[in-house]
Structure 1
């Protein structure tokens, strides 16, 4: 007869109990990370540790792309060289014009005693790969906190806005693209100056300009640029172009569909901007000062009225006293004297007729 341990020591937790435990643990970690960012340190450590493996996994792709670049013909290189020279001439002319305008603008600002515009620093970066979530529009760039990337920094290329940094790691950063459904950018229409907010769409191919009144002047082809009112994006960056405007009588806002100006999915080399907004802070609110000012105005306005009322009272007092004195003292005695003869006269005729018969 074989010896077997008692069932109490042989059996462990059931499979269902283990499943429920790990499901509850996973949900708790998801909620705590989404709400309180409890796993940011762990994610940063894992990202830094897996960075060499990621670079090693990208080596075959880099080799293939390098071989494809070497296979370019000399004719293609000549044509590209000619195009680049022509573009260089255009850019040099534009740079000279911009330098003249900047000098003139600086002189005018000095004359008007206006503050200088906020400066913008840029950091070049390159997209490494897309994120694994198919329902979001996010990419990972090869610059992180060690290179000076900050959370919330705008990301652009030579055409316009690409997105915004939403998560920073030591050597990498996650960028949410402009077409993501949760991404919002304050913009304004160049032609009319109308300000609004543009959002991504669930499909990820168009943009939605929201909160535009149905009576607003919005036309197909209008260009949208950043307004800079949020203090995150520098003003004047190209964002999108209006492609369709739908206005219905039963709604208060028009539906404005836009397309991004920059190739959000086609760009590879990017610039991460660090916008230094030199706007002075707002003054502290002082409700007591406002009430004090109102009280001071009330006091200033009340003095003439009080003096006027006092003058009226003083003018009315002399008129009352002379009228009261003759009525009380001087005319009182003659009136009493006159009443006695009148009473005697009235009494005498009444007695005489009764006595004569």
Structure 2
């Protein structure tokens, strides 16, 4: 007994092809409408005619769609490039505006500072990253009259002092450095102390303030007349913490600096 084999439908697509071809022929040729034959043929083959035209239009339209999408992609890429370029130019413009404002303020301070010091303007070109190596480098040196131990200030207050000088640049030790010490006084009650760098660059420590001193949170701290390096009266900061244990001889005093050291870009060296 022969095994059953499913019969294959050979040439099953031929009737459909013939019908579509007849439909297309009817689209381009006119036949005699005798006995309504043309009307009958048109009505019978219209669905196949419409389907054939739809397929042809779809196949022809594919390359056009691909080209259109490619054009949109290129245009989108070009617009993104323009946007990035415009953003970069805007950022540069804003930076130039901010720099112009800072330099104008610096020139005003240099020309008519309230301390009436003779000043040399300098830009901060490098700085250390930690309290242990927080030296700042400025772009003024011996050729500009800079010497070691010259005080460094800004409009807001005391920055530090020069500790190393070369022909074209200098190193500045900021008051936030752990190796720095500055004779200071409470401007309200004239209590003396020594300002030193603290583990946090956002705060300073005021040492050797007597436990019987009348020092309060909010008091302004300035350089002391007893200092041999810094002129008196330069703002150092503001008292933010006063603590003491019963058996302590001195207050534990913390100071918030008058200067924002993280944003220093221009400073002034006092020429004495």
Shared fold, TM over 0.5: yes
The Cα shift of 1:129 comes to 1.1
Structure-1 residue corresponding to 2:239: 242
Structure-2 residue corresponding to 1:263: 260
Aligned counterpart for 2:195 among listed residues 191, 195, 198: 198
Structure-2 residue corresponding to 1:284: none
The Cα shift of 1:202 comes to 3.1
The Cα shift of 1:216 comes to 0.6
Structure-2 residue corresponding to 1:72: 94
Structure-1 residue corresponding to 2:182: 185
Map 1:229-308 to 2 at 5 A.
229-275=226-272
Aligned length, in residue pairs: 175
Q: In structure 1, what is the Cα distance between the partners aligned to 2:131 and 2:237?
A: 24
- Maintained 8 Å contact 1:188/1:225: yes
Structure-2 residue corresponding to 1:176: 173
Matched, 1:166 2:163: yes
Q: In structure 2, what is the Cα distance between the partners aligned to 1:67 and 1:232?
A: 45
Q: In structure 1, what is the Cα distance between the partners aligned to 2:94 and 2:251?
A: 49
Structure-1 residue corresponding to 2:220: 223
Q: In structure 2, the residue corresponding to 1:193 is in which secondary structure?
A: coil
Q: Which has the higher strand share?
A: 2
Q: In structure 2, the residue corresponding to 1:196 is in which secondary structure?
A: strand
Q: In structure 1, the residue corresponding to 2:190 is in which secondary structure?
A: coil
Matched, 1:209 2:206: yes
Q: In structure 2, what is the Cα distance between the partners aligned to 1:162 and 1:180?
A: 11
Q: In structure 2, the residue corresponding to 1:72 is in which secondary structure?
A: helix
Q: TM-score, normalised by structure 2?
A: 0.58
Q: In structure 2, what is the Cα distance between the partners aligned to 1:200 and 1:133?
A: 11
- Maintained 8 Å contact 2:196/2:204: yes
Q: In structure 2, what is the Cα distance between the partners aligned to 1:234 and 1:272?
A: 12
Aligned counterpart for 1:120 among listed residues 117, 122, 130: 117
Aligned counterpart for 1:146 among listed residues 143, 155, 158: 143
Q: In structure 2, the residue corresponding to 1:120 is in which secondary structure?
A: coil
The Cα shift of 1:201 comes to 1.4
- Maintained 8 Å contact 1:120/1:234: no
Q: Structure 1 unaligned segments of length 5 or more: list them.
A: 1-65, 82-86, 99-117, 276-357
Q: TM-score, normalised by structure 1?
A: 0.45
Structure-2 residue corresponding to 1:310: none
